[in-house]
Amino acid sequence: MSTMRRLLILVLITITFFLPAMSFVMLADDTDDELKKIEEKLEKKEEEYQSTSKKLSEIRSKADGVSKKIADLSSQLNVTQAQVNELQADIKNMEEQLAEINTNLENRRKDLTEKIDIRNKIIRNFSKRGVLNDLELFLSSVPFVNTSEKIEEDLNGFQFSTYSYIFEKTLTSETISLIGAINKEITNFEKDKNEAESLKSELEDSHNKMLVLKQQLDSQKASQEKELNVLSSQQEDLEEELEDLSQAISELTAKQQSILSQKYGEGNGTVGNYEAAEQKLPDPGFRPAFAASSYGAYTHGNGMSQYGAKGRAEAGQNYKDILKFYYKSGVKEEDDADEICVEGYGTMSMKKYLYGLAEMPADWPENALKAQAIAARSYAYRYKKNGKCICTSQSCQVFLKSKSEDPPSRWKEAVDDTDKKILDSSVVAYYSSTTGGYINNIGWDTKGSWPNDAYEKKAKSPWFFKAWYTQTYNVNSSTCGRSNPWLTEKEMADILNAWVVWRKGSSKEKDRISPVTTSCWGGNPYSIDAMADKADDYGSKFTSVDSDVDVEISNGGYTSKVYFNTNRGRIGIDGAEFKTVFNLRAPGYISIRNKLYDFVTK
């Protein structure tokens, strides 16, 4: 073989084995650099996006809050513009945050696209990487640079194969790790993207619901405002009527004033030491028959209802709950509430004074007794603070010296257990036996609907709904010859004729509106026939009334209107005005004792 031929073969062998090895080394160096760059980029992007899930979680919490606000508003009858603005601001804020997150997610998507390209390139290059065959392994010699020691040396095929194997294992591990990281990031991106889109959809739905709710509530508000305007107008009319009525009453004679005073009832009307029997109306023995029945009586309608307190205690309420309802006040201890000046007895300890109060039966529930003890102590303490002695009659609080010296054990325990406790407010601790189920400045005293669910009725107050015909609470007091409260049709028509004279008659004619039972009341009343003639003079004579009597009960706790079917058709009379005329004309002590009343008819 010629020298030229040998040289050519050597060049070919060199090209065959050396160039693939060099290509492999260059690919390894390029891939390693690329991996480092990707790792740095991944780390940077992870820091940039690591708060995305946290932000979405925060927005999820805010969105739940918005939903709760809308649910709360749905239970109201009114919503202010401020509430709507606040809700819209919340939604707008979250939409801005979602927009920012979506921008970040879009940038992330672009970065991921680049990373996916790099991942695919790595996989392709990795799959194309050359592998030495047996002949190459035996004959090859590859230059190698040891970078750690800065030594350049030639590697034979076996040495190169060893280094190649180590590099391959490392590169495979790094590549798999890199691909896994990128795939995980893609999965997280899709999850966050879907969550953001879901939240955006929910916010839009919440916003729409809020707008619908606002429209509904505005409509309800407008309707209520319209109703309020009507009621305000009616209130103005009623106030004018009451003013006219007050003026008319003030012009009555002294005798008529006395009649009204006695029939309305005097004093606070507290229970005292005993419970009266519940009233049972007897059969009237004639038809039609009319009995005006009052809800409660002898009451100012303020503060605690004693029978209401009994009903609440029997329902499981404690004395603090009871006082909180009737006085809108908590309880506190007052060290200065240790003594009191009592008219006729001088200064005595507050305990000794309270032992002697005859305001509530001692066999009533414990929490009712404690509520009574605190109310009574608060009432007495007010006298002490004003530097006055407290009276011993029902004008203040009924005090019995004999009871003070030997109080019932349960009442004594209630006083002792609440020692020095008074109401934690400046409210006057008024109380009365039975208000009819309505407390001034508080409202209906019920657990459910009035009147059947009134606490006083549940406690079986004998005065919750009563037709009055006795002079006082005591059933043995004077009745002026009446054995029951029933009125005949003629007597009922007489009261309606008296109402005509009351409205249209002269002062002298009105002066003769008083009970025909002069043996008890005296005076110079018109007879029933004379009253009918006088009403006839004014063109409104009533001769017949049927038993279908209706009343309107105001949410203000009073009877606002009374309706009768008569020979002159159906008539409606203002409730307060009718009560005045009824009490002036009804025979004996038959009377309406409270502003809240109705009729029992047969």
Instruction: Give mean pLDDT, residues 13-34.
Output: 43
Residue 238 located in a structural domain: no
- Residues 6+ away with beta carbon under 8 Å from 186: 112, 116
Q: In this structure, are 358 and 319 located in the same domain?
A: yes
pLDDT of residue 526 exceeding 90: yes
161 vs 20, higher pLDDT: 161
Q: In this structure, are 594 and 498 located in the same domain?
A: yes
* Ranges 56-65, 398-407, 441-450: which has the least confidence: 56-65
Burial of 585 (0-12, 13-18, 19+ CB in 10 A): buried
Residue 289 located in a structural domain: yes
SS3 266: coil
pLDDT in tens, 132-155: 555 554 445 545 445 444 445 555
Residue 272 located in a structural domain: no
Q: Read off the tokens for 117.
A: 């390209």
- How many domains is the chain built from? 3
100-104, 146-150, 160-164, 166-170 — which one is most confidently predicted on average?
100-104
Q: In this structure, are 168 and 317 located in the same domain?
A: no
Q: Read off the tokens for 207.
A: 């916003």
The phi-psi region of residue 263 (left if phi > 0; otherwise alpha if psi is between -120 and 50; otherwise beta) is: alpha
Q: Read off the tokens for 446.
A: 């019920």
pLDDT reported for residue 209: 72
Q: What's the CA gap between 83 and 91, in Å, rounded?
A: 12
pLDDT of residue 346 exceeding 70: yes
**pLDDT band with cut points at 50, 70 and 90 for residue 240:** low
Q: In this structure, are 558 and 520 located in the same domain?
A: yes
Instruction: Kindly write down the DSSP assignment for every residue of 24-45, as one continuous string.
Output: HHHHHHHHHHHHHHHHHHHHHH
Instruction: Give kind and range of the element (H or E) at residue 290.
Output: strand 290-294
Q: What's the CA gap between 462 and 52, in Å, rounded?
A: 71
pLDDT of residue 28 exceeding 60: no
* Ranges 219-223, 392-396, 596-600: which has the least confidence: 219-223
**pLDDT band with cut points at 50, 70 and 90 for residue 105:** low
Domain that holds residue 578: 254-266+277-294+471-601
Instruction: Give mean pLDDT, residues 427-453.
Output: 94
Residue 195 located in a structural domain: yes
Residue 244 located in a structural domain: no
66 vs 423, higher pLDDT: 423
100-109, 147-156, 228-237, 438-447 — which one is most confidently predicted on average?
438-447
Give me the long-range contacts of 178-187 (CB less than 8 A, separation at least 24).
Answer: 178/35, 178/38, 178/39, 178/119, 178/122, 179/119, 179/122, 179/123, 181/42, 182/42, 182/112, 182/115, 182/116, 182/119, 185/42, 185/45, 185/46, 185/108, 185/112, 185/115, 186/112, 186/116
101 vs 368, higher pLDDT: 368
Q: In the chain, pLDDT over 70 holds for what percent of residues?
A: 61
pLDDT reported for residue 404: 96
pLDDT reported for residue 2: 45
pLDDT reported for residue 100: 72
Cβ proximity of 194 and 174 under 8 Å: no
**pLDDT band with cut points at 50, 70 and 90 for residue 9:** very low
Q: In this structure, are 392 and 516 located in the same domain?
A: no
pLDDT reported for residue 500: 97
**pLDDT band with cut points at 50, 70 and 90 for residue 462:** very high
Rounded to two decimals, the pTM is: 0.61
Q: What's the CA gap between 343 and 364, in Å, rounded?
A: 28
pLDDT reported for residue 8: 39
Q: What's the CA gap between 582 and 578, in Å, rounded?
A: 6
CB atoms within 10 A of CB 499: 24
CB atoms within 10 A of CB 244: 13
pLDDT in tens, 279-320: 789 999 999 999 999 999 878 899 999 999 999 999 999 999
Residue 339 located in a structural domain: yes
Residue 240 located in a structural domain: no
* Ranges 120-124, 142-146, 401-405, 522-526: which has the least confidence: 142-146
pLDDT reported for residue 370: 98
Q: Read off the tokens for 441.
A: 């400045």
**pLDDT band with cut points at 50, 70 and 90 for residue 124:** low
Q: In this structure, are 511 and 404 located in the same domain?
A: no
Select from 434, 458, 482 the last residue of a domain. 458
Backbone phi and psi for residue 222, each to the nearest 5 degrees, phi listed first: -60, -40
Instruction: Give mean pLDDT, residues 537-547.
Output: 96
Instruction: Give mean pLDDT, residues 340-360.
Output: 96
Instruction: Give mean pLDDT, residues 379-383.
Output: 95
Q: In this structure, are 287 and 208 located in the same domain?
A: no
Q: In this structure, are 434 and 553 located in the same domain?
A: no
pLDDT reported for residue 1: 47
Q: In the chain, pLDDT over 90 holds for what percent of residues?
A: 49
First to last CA, the chain: 149
pLDDT reported for residue 474: 79
pLDDT reported for residue 24: 38
Q: In this structure, are 44 and 183 located in the same domain?
A: yes
127-131, 244-248, 523-527 — which one is most confidently predicted on average?
523-527
pLDDT reported for residue 254: 84
Angle at 226 between CA 223 and CA 227, to 5 degrees: 90
pLDDT in tens, 169-222: 665 666 666 666 666 666 776 777 677 777 767 777 776 776 776 676 666 666
Instruction: Give mean pLDDT, residues 428-447.
Output: 94
Q: In this structure, are 438 and 509 located in the same domain?
A: no
pLDDT reported for residue 262: 85
**pLDDT band with cut points at 50, 70 and 90 for residue 16:** very low
**pLDDT band with cut points at 50, 70 and 90 for residue 477:** confident
Select from 432, 458, 484 the last residue of a domain. 458
* Ranges 222-231, 351-360, 484-493, 574-583: which has the least confidence: 222-231
pLDDT of residue 453 exceeding 70: yes
**pLDDT band with cut points at 50, 70 and 90 for residue 5:** very low
Strand partners, 570: 565
Q: In this structure, are 213 and 261 located in the same domain?
A: no
**Strand 550-553 to strand 559-566: parallel, antiparallel, or no bridges (unpaired)?**
antiparallel
Q: In this structure, are 290 and 308 located in the same domain?
A: no
Average pLDDT, the chain: 79
Residue 466 located in a structural domain: no
**Which residue shows structure tokens 């020692």?**
419
CA 36 centroid distance within chain: 63
CB atoms within 10 A of CB 587: 21
pLDDT reported for residue 306: 97
CA 537 centroid distance within chain: 57
pLDDT of residue 495 exceeding 90: yes
